[in-house]
Amino acid sequence: MPPRKTGKGYGTEALQAFVKKVFAEMPLTTLELNVFDFNKSAIRCYEKAGFVKTHEAARPNGWIAINMEIKR
């Protein structure tokens, strides 16, 4: 996304709509995702959409993967 479009909440809005649709149409109680710790803007987007951090794990290359989830 071009920089002039970032930071305006579009990603959070789209993610919230996606989560709402998935929970409405599928018999799921939890959605999970993984993101690397250096991707601060993605983490912020996920948190604003309602995801919470549940676990961190170091990958063989040294990167830290963060597991996040949201419940129905």
Give the range of the structural domain holding residue 37, as residue numbers without chain letter: 3-71
Number of domains in the chain: 1
Q: What is the pTM of this model?
A: 0.88
* Residue 46: CB atoms within 10 Å: 22
CATH number at 46 reads 3.40.630.30
Q: What is the pLDDT along the chain (72 residues), one digit of tens a residue?
A: 567 778 888 999 999 999 999 999 999 999 999 999 999 999 999 999 999 999 999 999 999 999 999 999
HSE at residue 24, side-chain half, CA atoms within 13 A, is: 6
Task: Express the helix, strand and coil content of the chain in percent, nearest 5 each.
Answer: 40, 30, 30
